[in-house]
Structure 1
Amino acid sequence: MSLRIIPANIISRLQALGTGQSPDTPNEDEPAADTAPRHAGSRNENGHYDPSPIDVAVVRIMLAKATKLPVDVVDGIFELAEYWVRTTTAADYSGNALYVSSRSVQDRFLVRSLPIGFTSEHGGDLDLKGEPAPAKPLKSTVPANKLARMADYPLPKLQGPVRKVVFKFTSHDQGWSGETGSLYENSWTWFEAGLERLEDSEIAIEEVIEEKKEDAENGEPAPQEPQFQYQFPLIQSPKWTVCRNKRAHRDWQDHTITWACYDDVQADSDGSKALEENGRGRETGDGEFVRNLQLGDVVTLWAKARFPGWVNNILAASIDVYWAAT
């Protein structure tokens, strides 16, 4: 019989729950700074409690112990309850609205998610709104055991842990157009999703850093990386287009687009036509993008504009990623 060692931080969470405290309620008899559980979840803008990975592990252990249910049944309950970890990253341009146009920058990086499986406590040093990662071939993915060393809580063991990705943005186009058609038809300002994947060689560990230091001291030149040139045509991809702006609308529009792992809208179906009529990419409803996301992957959001006169004005943008912590 094999045993799984429960990490110490899960034990401390269990002890906190045993005192009758809720995950986000401090003990009034002690200073708040000392009693706030580390890795606790938080309440979102709607008052809903978003659990942390530790919360999920603790509740899973308690539910299994109290009910004697098989682990698979407990995991099914978590799925039905959507008891998932949510990470969110946002870019706010309300002080100075961002615009993307054919006259200047036609293809603008907006924001990236935290790596799948990691929370904001581990993403403080990441550049989530800066520059996009360089495009180059992926030599090798990061082994799960190396990723596990980067977090002090159990990482998801599922090969595809992500349940849904929610894109939110406030935007509008230039407000006029000579094009005709339905609300989103012939609209040439839009938003696209992107994917960044961790390269094994980019995850530094202490031994590798020491080797590089010794090479530098010995005067050995660092090997030159080959240069790669990728072409990203400025066209609306049916697979990556999150949403187009309404054509010739000057008022700010709020968009919320959800891609879920359980989506099953095929590209040649009537459902895909409905997606396209509502401004989405025709091939974005099959759930494939979400199901294929792996531990450590990063989702990105881009703003685009094509042809003279078209301007994509952006006030805010964010990415919410929900993943199963079991």
Structure 2
Amino acid sequence: MMLPFVRRLPGHRRRPHPRNDGSNNSPDEDGQGAPAEDETYYPSGFDVLKVRYLLQHIWQWTRGSQELLPVELVDMIVDTAEYWASSESVMEGETLIRRDQDQVLLTTLPLCYDAQTLDTASPKLLPYRSTHPCRKVIFTISSHDQGWGGGAGDRGQYAGSYSWFDTEIIHSAHQSSQNRAPSNQPHQPEGPFHFGPDHPNLLPTARKLQSNRTAVSRSQVHTIVWHHLDNIATDSDEAVEIERDQGRGRATLDGSQVRALEVGDAIAIWGRARFAGWANHVQRVSVRVFWAV
């Protein structure tokens, strides 16, 4: 019996390569800031359950055996193929974040919950496996800064950038509609937010999601992949190189954020700009969260 063919998602590696190779942090070539159309097939939870059933019974059908393929082996096959359920949240429409006007751009759906039931008294859980089922998160951001400023040596690079993006984990987001954006729509908090000189959100840190290129007015498309098998240490030379060349926070490369996510957790994406003259022009943000079934 033939199993359905699924095209493997591009650029999903255990250890992200520091070069801009088109799969991670690649600027949009036409300058319009629009990600290429994604024709990848993303299986539903039901699709994954069907494939798991086929894998478990294939031993019986091909060998005439009464035994099923062990569940542990099925888990290994499914995880190696990255055949996981997922949900996507999208912010469409340009948003301008000026000096010190930090803003939540998008809040993802609570992990493993049915979007259609979130506004009901009993939100519905979708099929999932293990206490920490999240396996991968793909962030796609189309944005640019104000197009001038920064040191002469920083222009076009990520060093010296004061417009960037952070993430915040919202635990048990399914329990309160006030903590999440309804049906993929961006949440607009009250603001602006002013941070003192010692506040961790005043400047970009090693835990930032992504920086804009410094003094570049053309929109850039950055695709940031968090994987549960990532294992690059924050203080390693490789992490420092990736932060310098790709604009990712070097403390987001060890996979701990993905492994720590629990059922019902959501991810909020913050856009930030700091200091006079700096601005963060955001055209589009999307986040696809994958979990094991």
C-alpha distance in structure 1 between counterparts of 2:266 and 2:77, whole Å? 27
Q: Which SS does the other structure have where 2:252 is aligned?
A: coil
Measured at CA, do residues 47 and 122 of structure 1 come closer, stay the same or move farther in structure 2, by a change above 3 Å? farther
Structure of greater relative contact order (alpha carbons < 8 Å, 6+ residues apart): 2
Counterpart pick for 1:171 among 143, 147, 155 = 143
Q: CA RMSD in A?
A: 2.6
Measure the CA separation in 2 of the matches of 1:65 and 1:91: 42
What is the CA deviation profile of residues 211-259 of structure 1, one whole-angstrom value per residue up to 9, with x for unaligned ones? xxxxxxxxxxxxxxxxxxx9663221212x1110000000111111111
TM-score of the superposition, structure 2-length normalised?
0.71
2:96 alignment partner in structure 1: 99
1:199, CA displacement in angstroms?
A: 6.9
Residues 1:191 and 2:165 aligned together: yes
**Identity over aligned residues, as a percent?**
35
Could you tell me how far apart the structure 1 residues matched to 2:136 and 2:174 are? 26
2:44 to 40, 52, 65: 52
- The structure with the largest alpha-carbon Rg is 1
- What does residue 262 of structure 1 align with? 229
Q: Residue 160 of structure 1: CA displacement?
A: 1.3
Normalised by the length of structure 1, the TM-score is: 0.65
The 2-side partners of 1:150 and 1:178 are apart by 47
Q: Residues 158 and 185 of structure 1: is their aligned pair in 2 closer, same or farther, counting only changes over 3 Å?
A: same
Would the aligned equivalents of 2:102 and 2:270 in 1 still touch at CA under 8 Å? yes
Q: Does 1:122 align with 2:117?
A: yes
Partners of 1:254 and 1:152 lie apart in 2 by: 33
Q: Where does the alignment leave 5 or more consecutive residues of structure 2 unmatched?
A: 1-36, 60-67, 178-195
CA apart distance, 1:58: 2.2
Aligned residue pairs total 228
Contact 1:117 1:156 in 2 (8 A): yes
Distance verdict in 2 for CA 1:246–1:202, change over 3 Å? closer
**Structure 2: distance between partners of 1:152 and 1:258:** 25
Aligned-partner Cα distance in 2 for 1:92–1:237: 26
Q: AA paired with 1:65?
A: H
**What secondary structure sits across from 1:312 in the alignment?**
strand
CA distance in 2, matches of 1:200, 1:303: 23
2:247 aligned with 1:279: yes
The answer for the alignment partner of 1:297 in structure 2 is 265
Give structure 1 stretches of 5+ with no counterpart. 1-44, 127-145, 204-229
Question: Is contact 2:129–2:292 with CA below 8 Å preserved after alignment?
Answer: no
* CA displacement at 1:99 relative to structure 2: 0.7
Contact 2:172/2:263 (8 A) holds in 1? no
| Aligned partner letter, 2:69 | L
**Distance in structure 1 (CA, Å) of the matches to 2:284 and 2:230:** 26
**1:111 equivalent in alignment to 2:106:** yes
State how far apart, in whole Å, the 2-side matches of 1:152 and 1:184 are.
40
